[in-house]
Amino acid sequence: MSNSSHNDSRFERAANDDAQVLDSHEKALGPQKDDAGNYNLRPLLMLFLLSTFVLFAATYVNRYSGHYSASIYNETALPHTGAEVVVKADPVAAGKKLFNSPGACYSCHQPNGQGIAGVYPPLAGSEWVTGSEERVVRILLHGLKGQVTVSGTSYAGAAAMPAFGTAGYNWTDEKIANVLTYIRQEWGNKGAVITADAVARIRSQAGDRKEWSSTELLQIK
């Protein structure tokens, strides 16, 4: 029985089969060829091109977007040439600020334009303020000294009015025009606007001189 089983050809085939199976396993578990080392450059090239496009798009938008300013994308804005627009201040508002600035007009004539009795004549209701621009401009440019009559009241001992032109505070033509426009339209006064051009013209005509007297000014129309 034993001998017959050992000599059975079926057992020999089974043994051979097992050896072949083990040999196949060893080959499968042994070192393999690294096929994954063969890199494909196409995805890397696509990634590089895409990154370059994104960088270019971001640079373009940052340069030409107007930084997302509401004024750039305002569809209701009026068209303009792109030139700088200079907004001029309201002469009355600018003149009021000058009038009430330290060391200027308000300290003598008071914020209400009533002046100081016997010393500084009033500006409110003054014919010198609302009358000839030729006179009032000269007063501010060069100053006023001596006796002066305002609204029927004589100010014989009135303090001298300082000059705000070149020889005094050296105000510009625009500043003088603004403060005169303010006092001619404040406290119920109804005087006309005085322009910087008018001040410049009178400044060139009168030249450099000391204070005016009321007698000299009354000769100017």
Model-level pTM? 0.61
In the chain, % of residues over pLDDT 90: 48
Q: Measure the CA–CA gap between 43 and 102, rounded to whole angstroms.
A: 76
Q: What is the CATH number of domain 91-218?
A: 1.10.760.10
Per-run averaged pLDDT (10 residues), the chain, 221 residues: 54 58 67 59 84 87 67 63 70 94 91 91 95 96 93 82 90 96 96 96 92 93 85
The domain locations on the chain are 91-218
Query: What local confidence, expressed as pLDDT, does residue 118 receive?
Result: 84
Instruction: Give per-residue pLDDT as tens, 132-144.
Output: 999 999 999 999 9
Pairing of β 212-213 and β 144-145: parallel
